[in-house]
Amino acid sequence: MKVAALQMVSAPDLAENLATAAGLLAQAADAGAELAVLPEYFGLLGHQDTDKLALAEPAPGPDGLPTGGPMQRLLSDAARQGQMWVVGGTVPIATPDPQQVFNTTLVFAPTGRCVARYDKVHLFNFQTDTERYDEAAVLRAGHGPVAFELPSRDGHRWRVGLSICYDLRFPELYRALAAELLLVPSAFTWTTGQKHWEVLLRARAIENQAYVLAAAQGGRHGNGRRTWGQSLLADPWGELLAQRPEGTGLVLGECHAERLATVRRQLPALTHRRVP
């Protein structure tokens, strides 16, 4: 199964970001990708954390169709037109409190319908003398792991686990997902990314014997923030199959069910796990 991680350098302008995302999704479809993943905050990296509140969209309806909002419409249209699965990085989804939103990954099938929703569980908090982040000031945490089934064109049914950025530091979430392919849309800071990004992604791949596809923000943004980038695909042995350092573009690679089965058969660590 061919997959694509879409790397962006999102601006504080929704229309500009949506145009960039649409172009990258079209490129992924033209390249034959069955699954395309956008980064966290693909729609906006604003000047202030509260900027995302004005862009809050209602959750998709029970039928999986977008209930309104340009980000969901883009994701649904791209999935249907490209006949691929589209994972919408994150979209700010409204909560009953107008001062908070969920940071939500939405998965759209080739039908254009939303088939999975994951609200970010772990909210980033990081402080140094020069940097300060506190997602809990604007975001409401979600509850529990979410995975979905993706039937690929070759007949394999992939169990795909959802996570977002800071979740990467909590291995118990990934173990609970029990997935074959783990998705990690992110906006890692430059400071933490240069030290921890790759090693954490490879660790999650190795310990879960799963493919890991990470779509990142990567570059200097209009609000002055710099994100690490290095969108990548890692295989179940922890090998890096494809990556992009910085800047807008695609990371294309292939996930093979045979490779997954071989790794899990040769080193059946998942069956050896003992919980105290």
Q: What is the pLDDT of residue 187?
A: 98
Q: What is the pLDDT of residue 65?
A: 87
Tokens 């990258």 -> residue: 24
- Residue 58's domain is classified under what CATH number? 3.60.110.10
Q: What is the pLDDT of residue 67?
A: 79
Q: What is the pLDDT of residue 9?
A: 98
Q: What is the pLDDT of residue 184?
A: 99
Parent domain of 110: 2-272
Q: What is the pLDDT of residue 223?
A: 93
Whether 260 and 210 have beta carbons less than 8 Å apart is answered as yes
Contacts with 226 (C-beta within 8 Å, 6 or more apart), sequence order: 189, 190, 219, 220
Number of separate domains in the chain = 1
d(CA 56, CA 44): 11
Q: What is the pLDDT of residue 255?
A: 98
d(CA 170, CA 60): 28
Whether 223 and 2 have beta carbons less than 8 Å apart is answered as no
Question: Could you write out the DSSP letters of every residue in 139-192?
Answer: EEP--S--EEEEE-TTS-EEEEEE--GGGGG-HHHHHHHT-SEEE--B--BHHH
Predicted confidence (pLDDT) per residue in 72-123, tens digit: 999 999 999 999 999 999 999 999 999 999 999 999 999 999 999 999 999 9
Residues annotated as part of the active site:
40, 120, 165
Whether 228 and 218 have beta carbons less than 8 Å apart is answered as yes
Tokens 């039928």 -> residue: 63
Tell me what the pLDDT averaged over the chain comes to: 97
d(CA 176, CA 129): 36
Q: What is the pLDDT of residue 256?
A: 98
* Parts of the chain with a pLDDT under 70: none
Structure tokens at 125: 């908090």
Q: What is the pLDDT of residue 20?
A: 98
Predicted confidence (pLDDT) per residue in 132-154, tens digit: 899 999 999 999 999 999 999 99
